[in-house]
Structure 1
Amino acid sequence: MDEIKEMNDFNLPRIIAVNNDKSYVYGNQVMGVIDQHNRADYSKIAKELNHSNIDLLVIQHEFGIYGGESGEYVLELAEKLKIPFIVIFHTVLSEPSPKQCFIMKRLADLSFKVITMVQNKVKDLLEVYNIDCDKIQMIHHGVPFVDTESRMKLKERYGYSHRQILSTFGFLSPGKGIEYAIQAMSGVVAKHPEALYMIWGKTHPVVKQEVGEVYRQKLMDLVAELNLEQNVVFVDKHLTQEEVVQSLVLSDIYMTPYLGKDQAVSGTLAYGIGYGRVIISTPYRYAVEMLAEGRGLLADFHDSASLETHILNILDHPELKNEMENKTLALGSTMMWNEVAKSYAALFHETITASYVIKGSAV
């Protein structure tokens, strides 16, 4: 949104927030609020949009955002809209339930265009969801540009000048597989005692609400059990955008040892690519696509020994690290928000223009 609003052709984008069971105080950009579980709210917002000066709606779709079975209430909005909309599918399941498949197919049919952030999901949209190929477009997950100091300068500032930094950032939850990365560090530090694994981020709020800090405590107990207190640190805080980028630039290796093989998109991995880090990951679908052609290393799922082997390979071979960083940065430069915004801007123009043509021919 920040990049779009800088373009002369567009007014300031507005937001419709979807609230869960809590109330929030929003800024001026929020023009409306939907109570997630109140079906009538979706129809109400559609009516308000139809009578507003809004030319286009972008629906960010995740099944957990909207109310009803598998988030079906979003159809109350989509079916009543008289302005065009684009839907961005953040999750594309390879084996959806009939209800999930129906919702995505219906959204696609009603939309002007559907967006996926990975090429490998186009096939699923075609074959699993039976979406018209002319409706599908791939646009990369965007990465913000933050001007920051070099890795060497950041290490000096934080007192890590003589350390090799590995990192993971994002909300903690059991699906992140961080326990395997910690176990891998036990073997890594035997050869590289200067290695430091930094785990940035708070526990996922839903996980914390349901079970508290059980997962974080499990990880901390594992660190103590393996005597890794000097080689694994937790930064338990909500990160600003600047801190996220600094955590990446500071790093020699970025890791996403996730456990779910069908994960179509990872925002944290996208950030790592955007800033040209060497990435070691498990082979979930997004990682396989984005780390192809020598842009990273893929370890086996649930396998600390595999992670350890790849980490040591990078730490032992600085020339390999430099080669991978250059390859990753070549792709990452195309994923920065200013570049991604150009793709969305062109699509917005196409959508609005087509809508006016249709309206004009109907008069």
Structure 2
Amino acid sequence: MPYNIRIVSTYPPRRCGIGTFSRDLATALAHFTAEVGHIRIAAIDNGHGPYDIPVDLVIDQYRPKSWHDTIVHICTRAAEARNPTVVILQHEFGLDPDAKGNDAQGANFVEMAKAFRDRGLDTLVYLHTVLDEPDAHQRRIIQDLAKYSDGLIVTTESAIQILESTTYGIAHEKLKHIDHGIRMQNPSQFNRLSIKQEYGLEDRFLITTLGLLSPDKGVQYGIRAYGRFLHESCTDAQRKQMVYLIAGQSHPEFVKAEGGELHRQFVATIEKALDEAQVTWCRTKELGSAGFADYDVIFLDSFLDENTLLRLYGATNVMLLPYLNTQQISSGILADTLGSGRIAVTTKFRYARELIHSNKKCPEGLIIGRYSRGILVDPGEPAVEQIAQALDYLVFSEKKRFMMERQAHQRGYQMRWNNSAWALLQYVDFIKDQKEIVTGRGLKFTREKPSKLDVHKYRRIHVTTTVDAITQELKTGKPS
């Protein structure tokens, strides 16, 4: 019997990475018509509507009653449906305010999970933030989500290690890794050239930073590094063949924060970096209108619709991600960069270490990732020197760059959204099977008297005896 899928998340037109993630997941799930009945979204809203199907419920993010009403609606509709309902919560602390409106201090997702468990609804939670050093509230929320849901899903293996550690103490069987999906396949060299020609970028090496801008994206360090590369490595003629495109607006929530003061400070920081880098730059609303021959850095100050975003992946030679938050466990931009067969130069945030370097130990300094999928650098001030070195390596080593593109695409190909959606459906099947096994076991017995037949006791004795024998042999030099 197919599942009805209910996703609780932000959703377009709200400009939010988690909303984009949920949209792409829903689109991929819809391809599995034999396994999926219908897909509906309960959209967490903060004045960004109106919404279209598949959104059928809207949660007013800062109104507690709206969260409660949504729980009632979901439970009611699940009870009325012929197909079993599976609820998927997309958890992010920043989407969960408390009753007083304090951001990241709520427990709305936990209340949802608990209510759905009590109604017998299968409930899974995607965790979009897993912190190494959570505060008491953050730790409790994650632990409660594990307690009341059927499973926690993360996009990095390393997040499972954190959740299993003494910091959270969550059982391994409650945790599942599923790749972050990617949207596009590797465009051929012809496609890259044709896209560049369309934008007037032919014969130019394109370095790109994509996505909503905010201080933790570290763009100021990327600008300074790019300026250093131009001055140290390029002739005047070569400089005219380079362009650094920073495409995307500042995050709307960030622009409004504290009356816009934080955003004004951020803009000042970027302009200072441009001055220090000694680069020419401009802002434009349309890429085709920019004079690339006249500027080193172009800011495409507009929201990137799906078509534009995918075309920019295709046109890019190197994706620059100088992020400052090293605990970040997910990045759609990085996932799509590899999926597009493009090289990422990125700071060593958690998701980058996993995709680029297979979670191997990362010493300080520039690292060309395992299997050469990209280049890792340290965040903040050290990134200026290291990104400049990475650009020098990639620009002047064409064969190595093309090899890195192929290696990146090989990993990205495994992460197609259809693969991730299918993995999710298989996990749902596994959860249901486990429940049926547990409920079909019959009586449960606990040991009430010691027994010589206790295998666990025998194994402990055997291991102790073996260790003692080895120790004696080492002391005497004679077999025991």
Bin the TM-score by the shorter chain: over 0.9
Pairing partner for 2:339 from 274, 286, 292:
274
Correspondence 1:4-153 to 2 at 5 A: 4-8=29-33, 9-20=35-46, 22=47, 24-52=49-77, 53=81, 55-68=85-98, 70-81=105-116, 82=119, 83-127=121-165, 128-145=167-184, 150-153=191-194
* Distance (whole Å) between structure 2 residues aligned to residue 227 and residue 131 of structure 1: 50
- More deviation in 48-57 or 197-206? 48-57
* Distance (whole Å) between structure 1 residues aligned to residue 138 and residue 311 of structure 2: 38
Code of the residue aligned with 1:153 in structure 2: it is S
Code of the residue aligned with 1:124 in structure 2: it is I
* Distance (whole Å) between structure 1 residues aligned to residue 264 and residue 50 of structure 2: 27
Matched-pair contact (CA < 8 Å) for 1:18–1:36: yes
- Gaps of at least 5 residues in structure 2 are 1-25, 99-103, 282-294, 358-369, 443-480
Pairing partner for 2:254 from 207, 213, 217:
207
Report the alpha carbon displacement of residue 28 of structure 1 after superposing the two structures with TM: 2.8
- More deviation in 140-149 or 49-58? 140-149
* Distance (whole Å) between structure 1 residues aligned to residue 353 and residue 298 of structure 2: 28
Cα deviation code 1:94-120 (max 9, x no counterpart): 111111111111111111111010011
Q: Tell me the residue number matched to 2:426.
A: 346
Q: Give the % identical residues.
A: 25
Matched-pair contact (CA < 8 Å) for 2:248–2:300: yes
Matched-pair contact (CA < 8 Å) for 2:208–2:244: yes
Report the alpha carbon displacement of residue 352 of structure 1 after superposing the two structures with TM: 4.6
* Distance (whole Å) between structure 1 residues aligned to residue 87 and residue 332 of structure 2: 22
Distance 1:89 1:271, change over 3 A: same
Which of structures 1 and 2 has the bigger CA Rg? 2
Distance 1:306 1:171, change over 3 A: same
Distance 1:358 1:32, change over 3 A: farther
Secondary structure of 1:114's match? strand
Q: Tell me the residue number matched to 2:227.
A: 186
- Gaps of at least 5 residues in structure 1 are none
* Distance (whole Å) between structure 1 residues aligned to residue 221 and residue 347 of structure 2: 11
The TM-score, its normalising length taken from structure 1, stands at 0.93
Report the alpha carbon displacement of residue 220 of structure 1 after superposing the two structures with TM: 4.0
Q: Tell me the residue number matched to 2:209.
A: 168
Matched-pair contact (CA < 8 Å) for 2:185–2:340: no
1 or 2 for the larger relative contact order (CA 8 Å, sep ≥6)?
1
Q: Tell me the residue number matched to 2:270.
A: 219
Report the alpha carbon displacement of residue 278 of structure 1 after superposing the two structures with TM: 1.0
Distance 1:24 1:30, change over 3 A: same
Report the alpha carbon displacement of residue 35 of structure 1 after superposing the two structures with TM: 2.1
Q: Tell me the residue number matched to 1:195.
A: 242
Cα deviation code 1:195-225 (max 9, x no counterpart): 1100010101121112245424542454356
* Distance (whole Å) between structure 2 residues aligned to residue 39 and residue 219 of structure 1: 38
Matched-pair contact (CA < 8 Å) for 2:184–2:336: no
* Distance (whole Å) between structure 1 residues aligned to residue 396 and residue 201 of structure 2: 19
Report the alpha carbon displacement of residue 33 of structure 1 after superposing the two structures with TM: 2.0
* Distance (whole Å) between structure 2 residues aligned to residue 269 and residue 70 of structure 1: 29
Aligned residues, how many?
Answer: 361
Report the alpha carbon displacement of residue 31 of structure 1 after superposing the two structures with TM: 2.3
Secondary structure of 2:38's match? coil
